[in-house]
Amino acid sequence: MLRVEQVSFGYSKTHVLDNINFTVEQGENLAIIGESGSGKSTLLKLIYGEYDLEQGQIWWKDTEIKGPKYNLVIGYGFMKYVTQEFDLMPYTSVENNIGKYLSRFNLEKRQQRINELIDVVELKAFAKRKVKTLSGGQKQRVALARALAKEPDILLLDEPFSHIDNFKKQSLRRSVFNYLKKNAITCIVATHDKYDVLGFADTMLVLHDRTILATGSPQELYNNPKSGLVASFFDEFSIINDKIYYPHQLKITEVSDFKALVKDSYFNGKTWLIAVEYNSRTLLIEHTTKINSGTEVYFKIRP
């Protein structure tokens, strides 16, 4: 189990985290979300041992994670960290980047492991290519595979699929997260993308104002967001009588007590998002078709 206990930290000019406490079980997938600058990457770096804590302790099982003041070399063998920079060897092939830390004692076994990882990150066609010639998204996949190569106990991922195009993203996410679950690798993901979280995270942790604003499973936080900040991670929302409603929880109807004026319609793929004015506020309602601006409509809250 990873234990983060009463951790506080700031850079010289910015105080970033205040008394942070949480635990992560072996094999659990924890998603850290929060606005830009809320301290997600900083928290990952602290867990990795990149900085010295101002206060508190971080433990993985019986090992206390210590920063550079105590360790000549940053990091621990049981933990890998895929940053937003990747840090690959540009003039070396994809295969050899992935195999960088693998033993050369048994070359056949080494190659098997590389092939397995290449499958996980869906890079078969690029195995022999020099990393320098790859796109940003392809490099990100090489960095992921290399981090997995020696089966770490914990994997720290910072925006792991941010460079991957939408064509590949969904299947790649499933492949990587399923691999981690199957091998009971503890995973902590800092992300802005709800699709990295829904369907994969066991627990979410929302950072705000230097502390943990909310924590729970994706289902719990989605169904009961408690604040607009939490709801906004999942979807657009409206507030009626101090309650939060996602667009699909409101419905345009023939008649009701609520009359509104359509301001705009936005195509959403499966449906349209209708922005209406109600009591001098804008509400967002999911609807099957476009509605012309200026139309008067009635709406209701779905039961």
Ligand X SMILES: Nc1ncnc2c1ncn2[C@@H]1O[C@H](COP(=O)(O)OP(=O)(O)OP(=O)(O)O)[C@@H](O)[C@H]1O
Bridge partners of 298, per DSSP, are 253, 259
What CA–CA distance (Å, rounded) separates 245 from 257? 17
> 35: which 2 tokens?
């606005």
CB 54 → ligand X: shortest distance, Å? Answer: 13
Three-class SS of residue 60?
A: strand
Name which of 208 and 263 has its Cβ closer to ligand X: 208
Three-class SS of residue 294?
A: coil
Report the interface residues with ligand X, using CB under 6 A.
11, 14, 16, 34, 36-42, 190
CB 194 → ligand X: shortest distance, Å? Answer: 14
Close Cβ partners of 108 (under 8 Å, ≥ 6 residues apart)? none
Close Cβ partners of 172 (under 8 Å, ≥ 6 residues apart)? 121, 122, 141, 161, 164
Name which of 162 and 271 has its Cβ closer to ligand X: 162
Name which of 38 and 265 has its Cβ closer to ligand X: 38
Name which of 4 and 275 has its Cβ closer to ligand X: 4
CB 69 → ligand X: shortest distance, Å? Answer: 16
Question: What stretch of H or E contains 97?
Answer: helix 94-98
Name which of 16 and 121 has its Cβ closer to ligand X: 16
CB 278 → ligand X: shortest distance, Å? Answer: 33
Three-class SS of residue 227?
A: coil
CB 182 → ligand X: shortest distance, Å? Answer: 28
Name which of 42 and 203 has its Cβ closer to ligand X: 42
Beta-sheet strand order (sheet of 154-158) = 79-82, 154-158, 186-190, 29-34, 203-208, 211-216
CB 191 → ligand X: shortest distance, Å? Answer: 9
